[in-house]
Amino acid sequence: MIVNMRYGATDQEIDHVIERVRELGYQPHVIRGAERTIIGVVGKSQAHRSELEALRAAPGVEDMIPIAQPFKLVSLELRRERTVVNVGGVLIGGDELVVIAGPCSVESREQILETARALKAAGAHMLRGGAYKPRTSPYEFQGLGLEALQILREARQETGLPIVTEIMSTEEVDVVSEHADMLQVGARNMQNYPLLRRLAATPRPILLKRGPSATIKEWLLAAEYLLAGGNPNVVLCERGIKTFETETRNTLDLAGVALAKELSHLPVIVDPSHATGRRSLVPATARAAVAVGADGLMVEVHPCPERALSDGPQSLDFRGFEEMMRGIKEPLRRAAAATAR
Ligand code: PEP
Ligand code: MN
């Protein structure tokens, strides 16, 4: 339920509604806009619905509207203003397209420092790199763990690029939060509810990848766990879903990106590397993502993809990354011209 307070409602009136919502056993989520305050009422309660609806008569309340979607706090119905997530000074969901780049895995200090310098020079805004890797086979490279986090931190110190890295279990939350600016929930963990609940209580922004077989609704409900638990700084990432097609690693759901933006106020970015599994397809799908309104991109880049310990075939080299960056400027220029018209 959305409680719309009147323009000019007093703090006392707002506090009274919040108190009554709590008394009825629901959780109030207060959104203070420039013009007016909105109180989102979520949760389950034994109270009669009519008791909640009676709040329509409370002083300062203008109206109350039910939220049709099952994801309440994530929904654009509740919050009309788009969320902008600040990651170490980089704004995701604002006016500028944000490009996150880096190797699939952190392999060595030299690899990361060289990559971070090249990416920064080419215009990337953030650095990615896996320290704890979710590998399909237990015999594959599993990541350097803490050593990788320290290397990433050094790269941030030198280049100023904020770091995002994947977190696989609740046990790693403290150590990864200490080193990284943003925590990535990988596709395989999108529905790991104990992890989501724990991450809801961290002050770090979260990059929530869509599960390979998750519907848009399931993806947004996973984000709802984070917001309901108290972390409003969530960025959604489409990384391709499983379909019958086997020529590409996954199928990039571009309509899903546009729909997620239609349904939610959260920023949405696209990972064309995991979506396609092929380096040659990354620039074209990156341009397409920009054209459908993605707020950013996350791409894998390696100094020498043929030697990569993971995801080499889908990684761009530095030259490939520079070319991709040049390529995405064109749809951006066209979009700006269209808005100006
Ligand atoms: C990754 O970003 O390297 C990764 C493992 O991604 P996903 O969870 O989308 O497979
Ligand atoms: Mn990868």
- pLDDT class of 188 with cuts at 50, 70, 90: very high
- pLDDT class of 186 with cuts at 50, 70, 90: very high
Distance from C-alpha of 317 to C-alpha of 102, rounded to nearest angstrom? 10
CA of 270 to the centre of ligand 1 (A): 12
CA of 13 to the centre of ligand 2 (A): 50
Q: Is the pTM of this model over 0.85?
A: yes
- pLDDT class of 331 with cuts at 50, 70, 90: low
Q: Which two tokens stand for residue 12?
A: 């006392």
187 CA closest ligand 1 atom index? 8
pLDDT for position 329: 86
Q: Which ligand is nearest to the CA of 250?
A: 1
227-275 pLDDT, tens digit per residue, is 999 999 999 999 999 999 999 999 999 999 999 999 999 999 999 999 9
208-231 pLDDT, tens digit per residue, is 999 999 999 999 999 999 999 999
**What is the location of CATH 3.30.70.1140 in the chain?**
2-65
For the chain, give the percent of residues with pLDDT over 70.
Answer: 99
CA of 33 to the centre of ligand 2 (A): 39
237 CA closest ligand 1 atom index? 9
Rounded mean pLDDT of 281-292?
A: 97
Q: Does 200 have pLDDT greater than 70? A: yes
Average pLDDT, the chain: 96
Q: Which of 10-14, 32-36, 229-233, 284-288 has the lowest mean pLDDT?
A: 32-36
Q: Does 21 have pLDDT greater than 90? A: yes
Decide: residue 251, CB within 10 A, 0-12 exposed, 13-18 middle, 19+ buried: middle
Q: Residues with beta carbon inside 6 Å of ligand 1?
A: 104, 130, 134, 186-188, 209, 239, 274
84-141 pLDDT, tens digit per residue, is 999 999 999 999 999 999 999 999 999 999 999 999 999 999 999 999 999 999 999 9
Distance from C-alpha of 327 to C-alpha of 50, rounded to nearest angstrom? 56
Rounded mean pLDDT of 30-45?
A: 91
Counting ligand 1 atoms within 8 A of each CB, the residue from 271, 273, 300, 310 with the most, and so the one to mutate, is 271
130 CA closest ligand 1 atom index? 3
**What is the location of CATH 3.20.20.70 in the chain?**
85-340
pLDDT for position 332: 67
Q: Does 3 have pLDDT greater than 90? A: yes
Rounded mean pLDDT of 197-213?
A: 98
pLDDT for position 340: 73
- pLDDT class of 35 with cuts at 50, 70, 90: confident
271 CA closest ligand 1 atom index? 9
Question: For residue 212, which of 238, 245, 184, 235 has the smallest C-alpha distance?
Answer: 238
List the CATH code of the domain at 2-65. 3.30.70.1140
pLDDT for position 338: 75
Query: Angle at CA 134, nearest 5°, toward 292 and 124?
Result: 45
pLDDT for position 80: 87
Q: Does 337 have pLDDT greater than 90? A: no
Distances (CA, A) of 202 to 24, 100, 226, 234: 28, 22, 10, 12
The answer to whether domain 85-340 has CATH 3.40.50.1860 is no
